[in-house]
Amino acid sequence: MIKPHGSKVLNALFVDDDQRRQILITEAQSLPALLINSAAAANMVMLGGGYFNPLMGFMGLGDALSVCRDLHTLDGIFWPVPIINMVSVKPSFSAGQRVALLDPNVAGNPVMGILNVAGIDLVTDDQLDEMTQAIFGTTDSQHPGVATFTAQGNVLISGDVEVLGLSYFQTEFVETFRTAVQIREEISSRGWQKIVAFQTRNPMHRAHEELCRMAMERLQADGVVVHMLLGKLKEGDIPASVRDDCIRTMVNHYFPTNSVMVSGYGFDMLYAGPREAMLHAIFRQNMGATHLIVGRDHAGVGSYYGAFEAQEVFDSLVPDNALEIQIFAADHTAYSKKLNQVVMMNEVTDHTSEDFVLVSGTKLRDMLAQGIAPPEEFSRPEVAKVLMNHYKIKDS
């Protein structure tokens, strides 16, 4: 199986020894406590699950700036996005102490883990602007990722972590949430050698379905992992539970047995385009995938990024041998009326826009809200039914 990023063995930071974890939970009750924000909590879940291997915790200011400027930590690890813990008020504890980190997304704010505080850095406005520009390619406050990032504060608290809980993902998405460790184990049990990962924060329509099928066929892959984001999204996006239902419905009806693994990960969407695409590649390698589908405007939002910028970044910025996972670069896919099948639009040069079945996101939402099923060439009827039920309940 493909090696994890930056190490020979995957190192998940969740304390899976029950006795040891209980000792640490008891210790946490006597430690200074810090209620972290949702972004830091998502980082904890990803660290705990092994997705952010080989990192051992939250980056300090030096590493964060180095990642933004040079795509490497100070120790030379290739990394595209700072993994940080920011707060708005300087804490009363200091470097060298152990601190209990509390979950902001679960009632009662249970302990998520223990942080061995290595440093507490004040981030200047110029440094915050520099990091924002590097990560998102803009400092525009209308960008949902920028708005979330800049609202976290300017005090950066770093250090290694011991993860004691994986937030609400294990309880709310029992059948879907999986750590990188668990996905590797399942890949091994299925006997897969060449594995395609498909990132999604949306329900899967015909174009997404066929894109996965194309990738598997062209790469002669053993299977595809449909890996959905389960964390926070921007307002208006489809809730994770509905997406989960849509994807499982599509897979169960239209893919052969043992060709698709449906799973999800506990992270909040960054909408950081090219930088986020590189991060997606790293944690898909950590979970055992050999290839990642990177499509049009991957991890993008609005018009902040070029249509294929997230693909081009792997040629222009990712150094040779920095990653073992390979990219399956895909164009926009749509149903061709001429050929009666879904195609990559750049592969059919004799077509005009009128030859494709294209439905905008706005039009699709309007149709679903009115109980009108989109064309079968665009969305499978079983999937459309799930979405129409969601909008019916949402608007009632």
Between CA 166 and CA 46 the distance in angstroms is: 9
Q: What is the pLDDT of residue 376?
A: 92
Q: Within this chain, do residues 206 and 292 fall inside the same structural domain, yes or no? A: yes
Note the pLDDT tens digit of each residue in 189-230.
999 999 999 999 888 899 999 999 999 999 999 999 999 999
- CATH number at 57 reads 3.10.400.10
Q: Which residue has the higher pLDDT, 298 or 236?
A: 298
pLDDT at 226: 98
97, 158: one domain: yes
pLDDT over 70 percentage in the chain: 99
Are residues 163 and 28 both part of a single domain?
Answer: yes
- Residues labelled catalytic: 201-202
As a three-state string, the secondary structure of 52-89 is: CCCCCEECCHHHHHHHHHHCECCCCCECCCCCCCEECC
Whole-model pTM: value is 0.95
Please state the domain count of the chain: 2
Residues 366 and 371: their CA atoms lie apart, in Å, by: 9
Q: Does one domain contain both 65 and 162? A: yes
Q: Which domain holds residue 34?
A: 18-170
- As given in the structure block, the two tokens for residue 61 are 């200011």
Q: What is the SS3 assignment for 97? A: coil
